[in-house]
């Protein structure tokens, strides 16, 4: 028989339905969705000037994370079971290198590596991971508003690129971001229930059409249609599960007050970071974004940011990082603050939002990165990446994994792409294909 005659597309055409209903008839797991049927989300939070290796990477061998996290990661202690740390086997350094930058003679070009952290290309030679995820969702799931790019004083630098050399411009004003995401929009229980009922009525309609359609088919084709019917019943069950286990109250616009602050002032930087972190978390929880980048500071040197709220008024952050071990005490305090004010702020909100038998955090991958190994040398080797959240069970968290040798950051990006449902052999420069799935998922 003609296989196209009873294809999903032909079937929908015969029923008078559009291509938008194709996912309803899929018996495979939708890309970008967890095994439980909830969407996976990606968030990247990034800042400059490297880290303090002995205060960032756990000591000891591979295995469960220690009971006491290193000082910089202390803000994540309540969620240590959701953390996946990566370090070299023999030293307290990262096993992840930006090989493509070394290929471009930028081995000590750490202040240019924002454009490599998520693209896997030197000199922003292609789209970043968040863009790839958004493109995939637009193609496979008709999700056209998946991407969100925000920044806190990022200046001209960015981790997010829509194509080679084409930077995605971040929103840096929390007030404007709040308006674009939430102004005039609420999700009270009545609205949520109405949305559930509309989706359920669509499934009922499709089920009825399929039943009538199948009555004129042969045995083999009836089995195929029955498979589609089973898939629809699974979707209905997932809708019911979402309606009963996820409180509509979790989708609440955050408070962005007071108004009128000047975010070019260092004094208002802590408020800006908190506003942006809360908006990122709310956007993800409320389904307004599924691929997010948050760049906290300009990638270049001489950014003049100091931290009087930490009793560090001088010199500025860049100068402190350049002191190397002599500035470790101040640098540790600053990085710990970054983790508290941005990363832990997002994590806490996602962890508190129930979803199925877990939380939104359980269905999210948060990638935290800094642009160089250590601020005194600007090296693009041993880049401090950290994963939080399992992406619906893809990554095995609550542990530290060690690597016997250095690996290109492309392979880490590829594994995250796999967690997000992309079936790709590599991300970024095709010279560095492969992934870290066998290490990060076991």
If DSSP codes are grouped into helix, strand and coil, which group holds residue 50?
strand
Instruction: Give 15 or 329, the one with higher predicted confidence.
Output: 329
Query: Can you give the pLDDT at residue 234?
Result: 60
Average pLDDT over residues 360-388: 95
Least confident of 19-33, 291-305, 331-345, 382-396: 19-33
Task: Give the mean pLDDT of the chain.
Answer: 85
Query: Can you give the pLDDT at residue 200?
Result: 58
CA torsion sign, 341 to 346 to 347 to 349? Answer: positive
Whether the predicted pLDDT of 245 surpasses 60 = no
Instruction: Give 46 or 224, the one with higher predicted confidence.
Output: 46
- List of domains in the chain: 31-187+263-440 (3.40.720)
Query: Can you give the pLDDT at residue 3?
Result: 39
Least confident of 184-193, 344-353, 398-407, 421-430: 184-193
Query: Can you give the pLDDT at residue 12?
Result: 46
If DSSP codes are grouped into helix, strand and coil, which group holds residue 233?
helix
Per-residue pLDDT of 353-370, as tens digits, reads 999 889 999 999 999 999
Query: Can you give the pLDDT at residue 140?
Result: 92
Average pLDDT over residues 82-99: 96
Question: What's the pLDDT band for 198 if we cut at 50, 70, 90?
Answer: low
- Give the DSSP letter string of 135-186: HHHHHHS-----EEEEESS-TT--S-EEETTEEPPPB--HHHHHHHHHTT--
Least confident of 177-191, 258-272, 390-404: 177-191
Question: What's the pLDDT band for 441 if we cut at 50, 70, 90?
Answer: very high
Question: What's the pLDDT band for 372 if we cut at 50, 70, 90?
Answer: very high
Average pLDDT over residues 266-272: 94
Q: What is the 3-state secondary structure (H, E, C) of the chain?
A: CCCCCCCHHHHHHHHCCCHHHHHHHCCCCCCCECCCCCECEEEEEEECCECCHHHCCCCCCCEECCCCCCHHHHHHHHHHHHEEEEEECCCCCCCEECHHHHHCCCCCCHHHCHHHHCCCCCCCCCCCHHHHHHHHHHHHCCCCCCEEEEECCCCCCCCCEEECCEECCCECCHHHHHHHHHCCCCCCHHHHHHHHHHHHHHHHHHHHHHHHHHCCCCHHHHHHHHHHHHHHHHHHHHHHHHHHHCCHHHCCCCCCCCCCCCCCCHHHHHHHHHHHHHHHHHHHHCCCCCEEEEECCCCCCCCCCCEHHHCECCCCHHHHHHCHHHHHHHHHHHHHHHHHHHHHHHHHHHHCCEECCEEHHHHEEEEEEECCCECCCCCCCCCCEEEECCCCCCCCCCEEEEECCCEEHHHHHHHHHHHCCCCCCCCCCCCCCCCCHHHHCC
- Dihedral pair phi/psi, residue 64, rounded to 5°: -55, 145
Average pLDDT over residues 136-141: 94
Instruction: Give 236 or 421, the one with higher predicted confidence.
Output: 421
Query: Can you give the pLDDT at residue 50?
Result: 94
Query: Can you give the pLDDT at residue 244?
Result: 43
Cα 97 to the chain's mean position, in Å?
Answer: 20
Percent share of the chain, pLDDT over 70: 79
Query: Can you give the pLDDT at residue 190?
Result: 45
Whether the predicted pLDDT of 15 surpasses 70 = no
Query: Can you give the pLDDT at residue 439?
Result: 96
Question: What's the pLDDT band for 226 if we cut at 50, 70, 90?
Answer: confident
Which of 67, 51, 93 shows the shortest CA–CA distance to 403?
A: 93
Contact (Cβ atoms closer than 8 angstroms) between residue 421 and residue 40? yes
Instruction: Give 72 or 36, the one with higher predicted confidence.
Output: 72
Average pLDDT over residues 418-436: 97
């Amino acid at each position: 028989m003609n296989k196209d005659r009873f294809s999903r597309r032909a079937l929908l055409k015969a029923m008078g339905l559009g291509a938008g209903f194709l996912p309803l008839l899929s018996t495979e797991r939708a890309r970008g969705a967890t095994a439980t049927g909830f969407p996976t989300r990606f968030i990247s939070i990034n800042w400059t000037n490297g880290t303090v290796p002995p205060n960032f990477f756990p000591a000891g061998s591979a295995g469960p994370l220690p009971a006491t996290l290193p000082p910089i990661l202390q803000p994540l202690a309540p969620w240590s079971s959701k953390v996946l740390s990566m370090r070299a086997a023999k030293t307290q350094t990262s096993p992840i290198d930006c090989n493509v930058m070394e290929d471009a003679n930028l081995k000590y070009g750490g202040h240019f590596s924002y454009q490599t952290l998520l693209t896997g290309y030197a000199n922003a030679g292609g789209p970043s991971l968040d863009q790839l995820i958004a493109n995939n969702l637009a193609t496979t799931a008709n999700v056209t508003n998946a991407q969100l790019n925000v920044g806190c004083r990022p200046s001209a630098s960015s981790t997010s690129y829509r194509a080679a050399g084409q930077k995605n411009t971040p929103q840096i004003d929390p007030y404007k971001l709040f308006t674009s995401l939430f102004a005039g929009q609420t999700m009270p229980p009545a609205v949520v229930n109405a949305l559930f009922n509309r989706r359920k009525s669509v499934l009922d309609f499709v089920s009825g059409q399929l039943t009538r359609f199948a009555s004129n088919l042969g045995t083999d084709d009836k089995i195929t249609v029955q498979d589609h019917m089973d898939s629809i019943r699974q979707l209905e069950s997932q809708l019911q599960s979402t309606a009963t286990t996820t409180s509509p109250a979790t989708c609440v616009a955050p408070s962005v007050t007071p108004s009128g602050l000047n975010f070019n002032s260092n004094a208002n930087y802590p408020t800006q970071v908190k506003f942006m972190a809360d908006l990122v978390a709310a956007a993800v929880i409320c389904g307004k974004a599924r691929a997010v980048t948050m760049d906290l500071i300009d990638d270049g040197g001489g950014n003049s940011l100091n931290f009087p709220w930490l009793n560090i008024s001088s010199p500025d952050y860049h100068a402190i990082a350049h002191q190397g071990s002599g500035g470790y005490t101040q640098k540790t305090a600053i990085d710990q603050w970054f983790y508290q004010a941005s990363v832990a702020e997002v994590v806490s909100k996602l962890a508190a939002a129930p979803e199925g038998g877990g939380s939104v955090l359980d269905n999210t991958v948060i990638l935290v990165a800094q642009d160089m190994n250590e601020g005194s040398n600007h090296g693009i080797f041993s880049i401090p990446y950290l994963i939080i959240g399992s992406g619906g069970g893809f990554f095995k968290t609550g542990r530290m994994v060690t690597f016997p040798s250095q690996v290109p950051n492309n392979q880490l990006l590829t594994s995250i792409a796999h967690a997000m449902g992309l079936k790709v052999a590599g991300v970024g420069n095709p010279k560095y294909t492969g992934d870290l799935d066998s290490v990060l998922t076991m």
